Structure 1
Amino acid sequence: MTGPATTLPRPAHRDGNVLRWLAAYTASVTGDVIYFLALSWTATRTVGPSQAGLVVAVGSLPRAVFMLVGGVVADRFGPRRVAVASDATRCLVILVSAAVLVSAAPGLWLLVPLALVFGVVDAVFMPAVGAFPPRITTRDQLARLQGMRGLSVRLSNSLGPAVGGVVLAAGGAGGAFAAGVLFAASLVLLLAVRITPLPAPTAPERLTTRQELGAGLRYVRRHRLLAPLAGVIGLSEMCFSGPVALGLVLLAHERGWGASGTGWMASAFSVGAGAAALWFTVLPRVARAGRGIVVALLVTAVATAALGRAPTLWSAVALTVLIGLAGGTAVTLTGALVQAETDPRYLGRVTSLTTLCTLGLAPALFPVAGITAQLWGAGVFFAGCGAISLLAAALAVAAPALRRAELQGAGA
């Protein structure tokens, strides 16, 4: 008599449940890209460039302000419920806006509330969607899933502007906002995703939002791995969530490489980051994730500092590919470790904190980039970015739990 057969877990790229989540995420991110393009285009045409900047800023502010609260909401109500509600809200709001635009000219009366709603919903959606991976796949597949997610982002950022441009040219602003059908597709796919339920608490506590947020922050602060990891994520992403893109423009202008030089370097960065995402997608297993983060940050530091001294455009392009490859590796491994090490009950709050570290510190460097390039040259700015990456690597080395972290086997 034979015992019951054991079924090995499927690799993430062959798991239909994971692929449904990935398709939903891709549709939602692409919809976000098209929405942002349509909002900027409509605001510029109807209220002028100066007020268009105000509309975009109004949309960005609630995302930063409510991000941590969004993590509390995701943990309290569950990631799928929150993500589904977010997609439903965005779909409804954008389709109603499209209907209004058919019969009325857009103005601040429409664009400002629309931007505000999307900013708040994004602040809730991002922690919720980030809490899915540990509950739809196994620990050893999280790096692969992060690689797949990276490819999804690259696809969305490439496909979204192209689709948005075509829709804008063909149907005007109303047709562009009708791209909310992508949020509807994401909604349908998310409803079909199965997630592992959490065990019911033995004695459920009734906590306020502020108390739950405080509990999440204390959880990170006291965690031997997550505390230094949050610092590493904040430092490593500080230069690469926008400021380096501005730095590439400043470097090309300083060296006389023109707009085409900026385009070559920006494309090279995307190619490198995409290659890193693809590599982790097909890699069977990741050994020594902590050491991989340290090496990736060191390579990023050296290549970034060298970019500011690149003698030719093609040497700069080669260095930018390397920066994208190393930076993409660090992003994938840090993201996978966050998901692997966090107690699922806190995952929404931890995801919101790391997302805020990623997006919240970068804007401070935009004016610094311009002032530094004007006073001392773009090379000094890139040297400073390299020093920040080096500091992130030093922090990772100084934390034994992070330096020795693994993605294989049971969680800590």
Structure 2
Amino acid sequence: MSVPLVDRTHFTRALSSRPFALLWIGQTLSSMGDGAFFTALAWQVLAITGSSAAMGIVVAAQTLPAIFFMLIGGVAADRLPRRLIMIWSDIGRAIAVLTITVLGWLHLLQLWHLIFLVILFGIADSFFRPAYRSISPELVEKDRLSSANALTGLSKQMNQLLGPIIGATLVAFIGPSGAFGFDGLTFIISVLFLLGVRSSLFTPVSANKEAAVKSVVSPKKGFLFLMENVREGLSYIVGSTWLWSGVLVSAGIGVVVTGALAIAMPKLVSDFYHSGVWLFGLISTALALGSISSIFVIGQLKTIRRRGIVLYGILTCSCLACAAFGIPGPTFIHPFIAVIAALLIGFGTGASQVIWPTLLQELVPLDKLGRVSSVDALGSVCLMPIGFIVIGNLVDLFGPAIIFICSGLIGAVFACSELFVKDVRQLE
């Protein structure tokens, strides 16, 4: 009997599940739209204000809702159908992005419009993320979770590989509104694919659904029910050293390294490298290529011994590569340094997108996975609003180069500290 092509390699085995395949295709297209959106957003804010601090405010406005809604989204992911949560979240994000598109086409777009609409985008994303991160165990067998996470990581990287190229092209020939409109279209396509996801290998606990329905009837009981579920998720995390320490380290790296990449990069390209949007897109593409290479390598491996050591060793190296962005030198060598650094950073990102979610899905019970995923995601972004604003102002004061050097070194210290945690070293 012949073996299906997707089953011949470990990396693609999860695609043999039709529900997961539909989910993956829709999210891959949506990720490319997000890549185009954020490329256009960076240049739109600079065009309106010319300030990195303003870009920090806009990015912070998008991530700020996570502090208030991510935990609620985690409870919803454990108590309500995850597919429906994702559908409505995509609809909400489509409305926000398409509104930006219309305002841009009418030449009415102002900074406060962007801030308000990205807040709405962030609220919808706070519900989408826990549901998306916890739905894979419902769609694929346990031995294919690594494949599912590798493919999920691949789709995320499409927003850095093709998204910036599409975004830069649309910005150059149509304007930022063209890229915003493209992202809105991909959200609609994602909804259509999600509507086709009908079956699952596992079903949520019916008692949890009943409790959720009762909580809607009584707002007071509903609030107590919500708080109890949040407390239960937090208690589980506190009881796992590798889990809570990983969340804290991820938060630290997210503030310093992700903050530098998101806020300081446009000004680094324009002021320090004295280049244009083409180099900005090239760096984003190199980040994606590094991640994709890591995802392919790690996703293809059937087993990885000492996954904690492997993960944080790779992250330490990728953080050090972040510091290389600020290395001074001749103008002609800057693009080469930037591309190599971006490839190394991307490799670390790809490793974390495969190893970490697989650890969560294998070691955390399914009925707690949504809440644990929400706390994990919240830990990664809870400090980002403040961090983005601070980094934006520091870039304006000291320049982008010194910010990248400091951010990379601090991130390396955070990642390396996990290698001294016994529970992390013992993760198989």
TM-score range, shorter chain: 0.7 to 0.9
Unpaired stretches in structure 2, ≥5 consecutive residues = 1-6, 216-223
Q: Deviations over 1:29-59 (max 9, x none)?
A: 33444555667777888x8768986766544
**Deviation of 1:130 (Å):** 1.2
CA deviation after TM superposition for structure 1 residue 299, in Å:
2.9
Aligned: 1:350 with 2:372? yes
Note the C-alpha offset of 1:275: 1.3
> Is the alpha carbon distance of 1:198 and 1:286 closer, same or farther for their aligned partners in structure 2, counting shifts above 3 Å?
farther
Residue 129 (structure 2) aligns with: 126
Residues 264, 391 of structure 2: 8 Å contact kept? no
1:159 to 159, 162, 182: 162
AA at the equivalent of 1:386: L
Matching of residue 230 in structure 1 with residue 247 in structure 2? yes
Q: Secondary structure at 1:285's aligned position in 2?
A: coil
Pairwise CA RMSD: 4.4
- Of the structure 1 ranges 217-226 and 294-303, higher mean CA displacement relative to structure 2 is found in 294-303
Q: Tell me if structure 2 keeps the 8 A contact 1:248–1:266.
A: no
Instruction: Write out per-residue CA displacement over residues 269-297 of structure 1, whole angstroms, 9 at most, x where no aligned residue.
Output: 43322211222333333333222123213
Residues 1:361 and 2:367 are matched in the alignment: no
Q: Give 1:197 shift.
A: 0.9
Residue of structure 2 in register with 1:398 after alignment: 421
Q: Mean Cα displacement is larger for which, 126-135 or 166-175?
A: 166-175
For residues 328 and 292 of structure 2, the distance between their equivalents in structure 1, rounded to whole angstroms, comes to 23
- Change in Cα spacing, 1:245 to 1:14, as seen in structure 2 (3 Å) is same
Which residue pairs with 2:409 in the alignment?
A: 386
1:96 offset after TM fit, Å?
A: 7.5
Residues 1:208 and 2:225 aligned together? yes
* Paired residue total: 396
What's the TM-score once normalised by structure 1's chain length?
Answer: 0.76
Q: Which amino acid aligns with 1:273?
A: S
Any conservation in 1 of the 2:62–2:122 contact (CA below 8 Å)?
A: yes
Judged with a 3 Å threshold, the aligned counterparts in structure 2 of structure 1 residues 293 and 120 are, in CA distance, closer, same or farther, namely same
Cα 1:215–1:276 change in 2 (3 A) is same
**Aligned CA distance change for structure 1 residues 148 and 242 (closer, same or farther; 3 Å):** farther
From the CA coordinates, give the structure whose radius of gyration is larger: 1
Is 1:182 the counterpart of 2:186? The answer is: yes
Closer/same/farther in 2, CA of residues 258 and 22 from structure 1, 3 Å limit: same
The within-5 A match list for 1:52-71 is: 58-71=61-74
CA distance in 2 between counterparts of 1:189 and 1:99 reads 25
| CA–CA distance in structure 1, aligned partners of residues 50 and 127 of structure 2 | 29
**2:123 is matched by which residue type in structure 1?**
V
Taking the aligned partners of 1:129 and 1:232, their CA distance within structure 2 comes to 22
Question: CA separation of 1:369/1:242 partners in 2, compared to 1, >3 Å: closer, same or farther?
Answer: same
Deviates more, 1:228-237 or 1:240-249: 240-249
Gaps of 5+ in 1: 1-6, 407-412
Structure 1 position 219, deviation (Å): 1.9
Give the secondary structure class of the aligned counterpart of 1:405: coil
Could you say which residue in structure 2 is the equivalent of 1:79? 82
2:252 maps to a residue whose letter is L
Q: 1:340 to 1:240 in 2, by over 3 A?
A: farther
Deviation of 1:341 after TM superposition, in Å, equals: 1.9
Instruction: Name which of structure 1's ranges 58-67 and 29-38 shifts more when overlaid on structure 2.
Output: 29-38
SS at match of 2:354: helix
Which amino acid in structure 2 is aligned with residue 130 of structure 1? R
Higher helix fraction (1 or 2): 2
Q: 2:256: which partner in 1?
A: 239
CA distance 1:151–1:211, shift in 2 (3 Å): same
Instruction: Give deviations 1:342-394, integer Å, cap 9, x for gaps.
Output: 22222222222222222333455553587499769946853553343333332
Q: TM-score, normalised by structure 2?
A: 0.73
